[in-house]
Amino acid sequence: MSHDPAAQPVFVLVRPQMGENIGAAARAMWNFGLDAMRLVSPRDGWPNPASVAMASGAGRLLDEARLCKTTADALADMDFTFATTARPRGLTKDVYTPEAAMQAARDRIAAGQRVAVLFGPERAGLENDDVARANAIISVPVNPAFPSLNLAQCVLLTGYEWRRASEEAPAVAQELAGTEWANGDEREHLALHFEDRLGEAGFFFPEAKEEGMKQNLRNMWSRMPLTRADVQMLHGMLRQMVRWKERG
Amino acid sequence: MSHDPAAQPVFVLVRPQMGENIGAAARAMWNFGLDAMRLVSPRDGWPNPASVAMASGAGRLLDEARLCKTTADALADMDFTFATTARPRGLTKDVYTPEAAMQAARDRIAAGQRVAVLFGPERAGLENDDVARANAIISVPVNPAFPSLNLAQCVLLTGYEWRRASEEAPAVAQELAGTEWANGDEREHLALHFEDRLGEAGFFFPEAKEEGMKQNLRNMWSRMPLTRADVQMLHGMLRQMVRWKERG
């Protein structure tokens, strides 16, 4: 199995709480040959001795983990992001089983894309703001009466499905080849550009609805299969509207 | 989901050591709707308060677990038994992936058979004597350089595959229920609205490029999985930009 970081999905732990769980997640990843981990502002700081103690044998993943301030930072160089959630909450994004998600990840990676999977903090799971930055959802088909997977278990099942998917011959989806898709950084800049100008224009009104409106907008951008050219066109449209205004 | 003990595989923990791990195994099982557990001479006796503490929410499985003296006792009423082992050791038995094993279990159970899965003690795994009582082997395809699955993780992956085998969930579920997708007419009005306002704003410039630019824009709208709410938001964004301009 290749350990080329570009040839595997990046697992992003968002605001993990217990150091032990970060270590357990590292072990779970390495069980299935995955070693590209990113951490978004772990609660107890970084590095964390409790993580190292728990990771025994997979400590290298912690040493090499990239520490990021925000989910957006962690996804800046990603082309496609899955968010793991216990219960998909009307986000109008495709909901994948872990198997289908890792098959899709394999195909995208084979086509040269970079793929991330977001895992939320232990108690609360991912926030809507994090999910809004993902292109699709992974939901593990658990017993609805007892959906109690912990962080490392969720990482384990996803890693297991990655290994199952990647050990087969990769089937490259033809439609992906040759298209330059916008990456996370480009999407982020697009989202910010619209947020800023629409904010100036008074679109996010009343204030009580501002957060929800911004989330809807984020969700829309991340659900769209935007090419690099689309992103440039959308920037251009917005710039032209502003120029139009400024001409008076 | 049926809780008929005959309609699911029985998970047999053979000589488990730490009570916590028995509790964690119970949780892992119940996550996937499995609740038929048997215990072969747990090291620290039975019942075990440490198991109960760990099992929170799945304690019923422990209350109902059948305590057995030997592996043979635990399998007395079984028709077919899988043994989980990290590395199959020349036992001349069929070695199944967890997926294939749970598909086979589903088929056997549907045919009226009773199926068990043996899980070994934490450190050493199953002894040859235990494996000799099994009809086939389950081996999880882990990283050969780091095969460190613990008891509850092995139970988790097997339970996950049981649920996958016994419940045909759609691999990729679009959230169609509750999502109203924009229809052709709504897309057309959106495209025209943007064309008109962007035209007034001078976006389609120079004139020689106008047709191509409009086509790119049309292509983008038609490639996007737009909901009715997205379309309304996009109309609203554009209207607000125009209002902003008109306020001067």
Mean pLDDT along residues B197-202: 94
Backbone angles phi, psi at B18, to 5 degrees: -75, 130
Residues of chain A contacting B177 with CB distance shorter than 8 Å:
none
**ipTM of the assembly?**
0.79
CB-based contact B245 A243, cutoff 8 Å: no
In this prediction, residue A179 carries a pLDDT of: 75
Backbone angles phi, psi at B194, to 5 degrees: -65, -40
Residues of chain A contacting B156 with CB distance shorter than 8 Å:
153, 156-157
In this prediction, residue B158 carries a pLDDT of: 98
Q: Letter for the amino acid at A219?
A: N
In this prediction, residue B169 carries a pLDDT of: 61
Mean pLDDT along residues B82-96: 78
Minimal C-alpha gap between A97 and chain B (Å): 5
CB-based contact A146 B31, cutoff 8 Å: yes
Please give the helix or strand (H or E) that residue A39 lies within, else none: strand A37-40
Using CB atoms and an 8 Å cut-off, which of residues 169-188 of chain A contact chain B?
Answer: none
In this prediction, residue B89 carries a pLDDT of: 64
Using CB atoms and an 8 Å cut-off, which of residues 3-22 of chain A contact chain B?
Answer: none
Whether residue B139 has pLDDT greater than 60? yes
For residues B32-66, one letter each, b for 16 or more C-beta atoms within 10 angstroms of the residue's C-beta and e for the rest, the string is: bbbbbbbbbbbeeeeebeebbebbeebbebbeebe
Q: Where are the beta strands (DSSP E) in chain B?
A: 10-14, 37-40, 66-68, 80-84, 95-96, 115-119, 136-138, 172-173
Write the DSSP symbol of residue A15: S
Contact status, residue A215 vs residue A128, Cβ threshold 8 Å? yes
Using CB atoms and an 8 Å cut-off, which of residues 60-99 of chain A contact chain B?
Answer: 88, 90-97, 99
What percent of chain B stands above pLDDT 90?
A: 62
Q: Which of B140, B146, B160 sits opposite A30 (nearest CB)?
A: B146
For B152, nearest residue in chain A (alpha carbons)? A153
Confidence band for B88, pLDDT divided at 50, 70 and 90: low
Tokens of A233: 């066109």
Q: Residues near B23 by Cβ (< 8 Å), separated by ≥ 6?
A: B50, B51, B52, B53, B54, B55, B56, B58, B62
Cα separation, A157 vs B7, in Å, equals 24
The residues with which B66 forms a beta bridge, in sequence order, are B38
For residues B132-163, one letter each, b for 16 or more C-beta atoms within 10 angstroms of the residue's C-beta and e for the rest, the string is: ebbbbbbbbbbbeebeebbbbbbbbbbbbbbb
Query: A214 CB near a chain B CB, below 8 Å?
Result: no
Q: Which residues does chain A have with pLDDT short of 70?
A: 1-6, 88-91, 168-178
Residues of chain A contacting B227 with CB distance shorter than 8 Å:
92
Using CB atoms and an 8 Å cut-off, which of residues 44-63 of chain A contact chain B?
Answer: 57-58
Q: How many CA atoms lie within 13 A of A100 on its CB side?
A: 18
Confidence band for B226, pLDDT divided at 50, 70 and 90: confident
User: How many C-beta neighbours within 10 Å does residue A159 have?
Assistant: 27
Q: Which of A31, A197, A245 sits opposite B143 (nearest CB)?
A: A31
In this prediction, residue A174 carries a pLDDT of: 38
In this prediction, residue A94 carries a pLDDT of: 87
In this prediction, residue A170 carries a pLDDT of: 41
Q: Which of B31, B148, B175 sits opposite A143 (nearest CB)?
A: B31
Query: Tens digit of pLDDT for each residue in A101-151?
Result: 999 999 999 988 999 999 999 888 999 889 988 999 999 999 989 988 999
Tokens of A100: 């289908």
Question: CA A211 → CA A135, A197, B167, B200, B236, distances in Å?
Answer: 19, 15, 38, 31, 16
Mutate to test the interface with A, among B235, B245, B246 (most CBs of A within 10 A): B245
Q: What is the CATH number of domain B5-167?
A: 3.40.1280.10
Query: Tens digit of pLDDT for each residue in B144-192?
Result: 899 889 999 999 999 999 999 998 666 676 554 567 778 778 888 999 9
Query: A232 CB near a chain B CB, below 8 Å?
Result: no
In this prediction, residue A173 carries a pLDDT of: 38
The residues with which B119 forms a beta bridge, in sequence order, are B13
Average pLDDT, rounded, for chain B: 89
Backbone angles phi, psi at A229, to 5 degrees: -65, -40
Domain chopping of chain A, boundaries: 5-167, 184-247
CB-based contact A197 B236, cutoff 8 Å: no
Please give the helix or strand (H or E) that residue A138 lies within, else none: strand A136-138
